[in-house]
């Protein structure tokens, strides 16, 4: 079974998807005049610094949560077990060279996520309560269906939705967290899974708004703590940093020979693992966190899009790199371990037994914000699917809360009963992310003209580059209303 899954994962994350991701990333990078590089200081100023400012009045902006709550939920959804177990598995299978391809994917991913978040906010719809929701299925309906008169938009939207919901049944989070808690505290994976599921119920019971409020409090603290712990390990082994970079760059282009418990990896495998884990980690191109960004109270789509770029930077360039360096610098990468157990062993080697306990608890919190953040994504897809039937929508959303944590626990039970290796579970994760990612990046490429128009307006308004067009519509609903009024007058 493992060989079949590995082959399917290798096919889906093969040359077609890799080339598509690279092409789309370069297209928007060049088309935006290297926005994520040239205006990186502005990205940091507009996002990071605002975390320490008191939230201002919403000034009547539409939205379910504030921009910061939205990005905290999105970062909580991305910075999680993929940064800990996923990065570890990438190195365990692809070797240290996989880290280089994670970086390259993230650099292009910064602009890709800026695009998908911007389009999600621009094309979002307002429900019967006046709350806006958006995401890839929304810009497929409006951008492809209504604006470009593509009558069959429902097919890519349906495939995307099925790809997203496949992660509801095949989920990594509960398994990885249960694995970490079980191996650290010497308790069974099933009891650990049940405990985690109860925590998930507690958080999602209040809906998307409750998830956002919890994430805004937990995420900054837990990310900062994890970074400090990782930096401690790296700085205490700083004499090995040159060797770490040598392993990463040599492995990226030459593969990695077998050493210790590591079985070796060819260059193609290194690239696939690096790119797949990068996307699963920061979700750039996947279209998932763009859904929660679409609910933000914001007056310009690109303002929220910039948060998307910041999210990728924090997730992969900072947090995932901390994990990778800790694993490589301690020598744990060649131990033959994988997943969360490899990361825990690396921290234990670098700091001591106490570190393993603390990091295991961190994984629990990371996983909690990830799973509850993903609940928001599923809810938004369901809201779009059932938008024509309010009663059914409300009934299904209430039922979904009861069902939500169950598949994750069932996967743990199955894994324990049949001895499913953690690495095999990660192959499921690769498969579930490949299909919606391919669909989404092709769609945002088609809708690129609208992004460039919004970016041009943003530069004029906030960067003093170019002239402001007073008739430019910042939101699709606003544009439709203007066109209706013109027709009525005409």
Q: Using alpha carbons only, how large is the chain's radius of gyration in Å? A: 22
- Model pLDDT, residue 37: 94
Find which of 4-8, 69-73, 373-377 is predicted with most confidence, using mean pLDDT.
Answer: 373-377
- What is the phi/psi pair of residue 72, to 5°? -65, -40
Whether 414 has a pLDDT exceeding 90, the answer reads no
Give residue 139's pLDDT.
Answer: 95
Q: What is the pLDDT of residue 487?
A: 81
pLDDT of residue 445: 96
- pLDDT reading at 428 higher than 60: yes
- Residue 352 reports pLDDT greater than 70: yes
Q: Is the per-residue pLDDT at 153 higher than 90? A: yes
Q: Would you say residue 72 has pLDDT above 90?
A: no
| pLDDT reported for residue 184 | 82
Please, what is the end-to-end C-alpha distance for the chain in angstroms?
65
Torsion of CA 378, 381, 204, 219, to 10 degrees: 70
Who has greater pLDDT, 489 or 95? Answer: 95
Residues 83, 339: contact at Cβ < 8 Å? Answer: no
Provide the pLDDT for residue 364: 79
User: What pLDDT, on the 0 to 100 scale, is given for residue 406?
Assistant: 86
φ/ψ bin of 131: left (φ > 0), alpha (ψ from -120 to 50), beta (otherwise): beta
What average pLDDT does range 65-75 have in this prediction?
63
Mean pLDDT computed over 66-82: 64
User: Which pLDDT belongs to residue 64?
Assistant: 57
Residue 10 above 80 pLDDT?
A: no
Whether the predicted pLDDT of 52 surpasses 60: no
**Quick one: 1 exposed, middle or buried, by C-beta within 10 A (0-12, 13-18, 19+)?**
exposed
- What is the arithmetic mean of pLDDT over 461-490? 89
Quick check: helix, strand or coil at residue 273? helix
Query: What Cα–Cα distance (Å) separates residue 410 from each residue in 62, 168, 199, 397, 433?
Result: 39, 11, 16, 21, 20
Q: How far is CA 194 from the centre of its chain?
A: 25
196-213: buried (b, 16+ CB within 10 Å) or exposed (e) per residue?
A: bbebbeebbeeebeebbb
Name the more confident of 343 and 55: 343
Using 50, 70 and 90 to split pLDDT, how confident is the model at 189? confident
pLDDT of residue 131: 80
Beta bridge partners of residue 262, listed in sequence order: 259
CA-to-CA distance for 288 and 279, rounded, in angstroms?
A: 11
pLDDT at 38 over 70: yes
Q: What whole-number percentage of the chain has pLDDT above 90? A: 30
Residue 328 has pLDDT above 90, yes or no: yes
- Is the pLDDT at 57 greater than 60, yes or no? no
Per-residue confidence band for 75, with pLDDT thresholds at 50, 70 and 90: low
* pLDDT-based confidence at residue 215 (cuts at 50, 70, 90): low
**Mean pLDDT taken over the chain:** 83
Give the pLDDT score at 459. Answer: 96
pLDDT, tens only, 101-135: 999 989 999 999 999 999 999 999 887 777 888 99
Q: Which domains does the chain have, with CATH numbers?
A: 2-51+70-489 (1.20.1740)
36 or 6, which is more confident?
36
| Torsion of Cα atoms, 222 then 228 then 229 then 232, to 10° | 180
Other CB atoms within 10 A of residue 488 CB: 7
pLDDT of 364-412, one tens digit each? 777 777 777 778 778 888 888 887 778 888 888 888 888 888 888 888 8
pLDDT digit string, tens, across residues 235-278: 999 999 999 999 999 999 988 888 877 877 888 888 888 887 78
Quick one: pLDDT at residue 303?
A: 92
């Amino acid at each position: 079974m493992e060989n079949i899954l590995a082959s399917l994962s290798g096919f889906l994350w093969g040359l077609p998807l890799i080339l598509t991701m690279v092409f789309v990333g370069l297209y928007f990078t060049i088309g935006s005049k290297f926005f994520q590089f040239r205006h990186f200081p502005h990205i940091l100023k507009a996002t990071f610094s605002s975390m320490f400012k008191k939230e201002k009045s919403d000034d009547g902006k539409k939205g379910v949560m504030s921009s910061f709550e939205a990005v905290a939920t999105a970062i909580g959804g991305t910075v999680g077990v993929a940064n800990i177990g996923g990065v570890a598995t990438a190195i365990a299978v692809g070797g240290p060279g996989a880290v280089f391809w994670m970086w390259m994917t993230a650099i292009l991913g910064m602009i890709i996520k800026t695009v998908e978040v911007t389009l999600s906010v621009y094309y979002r719809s307002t429900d019967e309560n006046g709350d806006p929701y958006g995401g890839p299925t929304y810009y497929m309906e409006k951008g492809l269906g209504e604006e470009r008169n593509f009558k069959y938009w429902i097919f890519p939207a349906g495939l995307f939705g099925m790809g997203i919901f496949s992660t509801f049944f095949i989920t990594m989070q509960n398994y990885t967290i249960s694995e970490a808690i079980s191996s650290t505290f010497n308790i069974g994976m099933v009891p650990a899974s049940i405990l985690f599921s109860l925590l998930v119920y507690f958080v999602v019971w209040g809906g998307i708004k409750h998830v956002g409020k919890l994430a805004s409090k937990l995420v900054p603290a837990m990310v900062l703590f994890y970074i400090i712990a990782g930096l401690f390990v790296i700085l205490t082994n700083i004499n090995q940093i040159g060797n770490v970079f040598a392993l990463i760059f040599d492995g990226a282009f030459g593969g990695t020979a077998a050493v210790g418990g590591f079985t070796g990896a060819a260059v193609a495998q290194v690239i696939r693992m690096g790119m797949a884990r990068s996307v699963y980690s920061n979700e750039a191109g996947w279209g998932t966190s763009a859904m929660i960004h679409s609910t933000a109270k914001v007056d310009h789509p690109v303002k929220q899009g910039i948060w998307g770029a910041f999210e990728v930077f924090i997730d992969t360039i900072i947090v995932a790199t901390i994990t990778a360096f800790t694993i490589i610098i301690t020598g744990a990468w060649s131990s033959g371990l994988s997943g969360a157990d490899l990361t825990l062993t690396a921290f234990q080697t670098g700091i001591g037994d106490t570190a393993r306990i603390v990091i295991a608890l961190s994984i629990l919190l990371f996983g909690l914000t990830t799973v509850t953040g993903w609940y928001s994504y599923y809810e938004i897809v369901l809201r779009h699917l059932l938008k024509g039937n309010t009663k059914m929508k409300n009934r299904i959303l209430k039922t979904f809360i009861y069902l939500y944590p169950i598949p994750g626990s069932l996967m743990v039970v199955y894994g324990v009963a049949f001895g499913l290796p953690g690495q095999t579970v990660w192959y499921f994760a690769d498969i579930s992310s490949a299909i919606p990612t391919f669909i989404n990046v092709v769609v945002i490429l088609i809708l690129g003209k609208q992004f460039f128009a919004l970016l041009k307006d943003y530069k004029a308004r906030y960067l003093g580059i170019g002239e402001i067009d007073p008739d430019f519509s910042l939101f699709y609903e606003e544009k439709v209303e203007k066109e209706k009024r013109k027709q009525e007058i005409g």
